[in-house]
Structure 1
């Protein structure tokens, strides 16, 4: 049985996380130099809310009020804000709509100088491990590393029942543009959903009452 971590338990440096949450807000897309769209998505569960960064197609497919399951997620600090990212081999799946108890407070992505200090220490530890080992490790000071592979499976749900059809795009609300390196996502891969496979990069915010 999958064990989900609560939003309130999130802190910098965690990885391989599983979460179930509801999309509250979807930020307007920020276009990178490579032409990719990056969105900041605000998600929440009963313990609090946090920002999730999504690249390209997944940010277009989800809607406010969607209940999503996230796998192989990791945390990072960007501009002093705790943020979630989908890691290599990770998955974002829509599992329902609206019917999820949630709380917007505490909002874990509020800017915090303390978080910046924690992230700096994590990066220093990684750099030290890199210098002491035979291989070279990428130290990321400007956001998450690129090259992430993720399966994003988003069926069109009505009344919490999953159907095998693609999800329509939604209008995006709010602004919180981010600019991270590229990641590689396979939309609809390894699923029975009728969402075509595309190579995309993701990261991203959504609201439901």
Structure 2
């Protein structure tokens, strides 16, 4: 029987990425597939703290192994902001958030627009076991959006090594280079051990 894993997210983009990355080894269900569970407050100071808090809460509430991530954009010129507040950086949608960011960086030269996407991924087991992995992707913030794929800050996050923004990558290219893809690859063995009943 294929083991079930709860990916504690309602973000369709993240869910699609994980399902593509994990394949058929594990059945990935989301919060939308289960009866409502109280949502933990993400009040940690770090991505790791928020991911662990979510994963532990959902594993305990559902009795399933739970995977939770917390990720965001850290801009060097803004002292690491928006960081853990990336999803709540501005009222409205993704576009509102990246437009606020572009406004804050307005007039800043290219070499000072360095940034990184960071992801902390936590796997919590119903028995209390926890594993955390982190991933990072370095890049630069453009002065305007490019590309039609991805979500969040992807259209303004440029990866010099590829000459493209995150939003110009295919989903396969993105998972090969992204912060979440890196964290997942580090977590892969732990996820596959679920299949072995480990």
- Structure 1-normalised TM-score? 0.29
Task: State the structure with bigger RCO (CA 8 A, min sep 6), 1 or 2.
Answer: 1
- Structure 2-normalised TM-score? 0.30
User: Where is the strand percentage greater, Structure 1 or Structure 2?
Assistant: 1
User: Where is the helix percentage greater, Structure 1 or Structure 2?
Assistant: 2
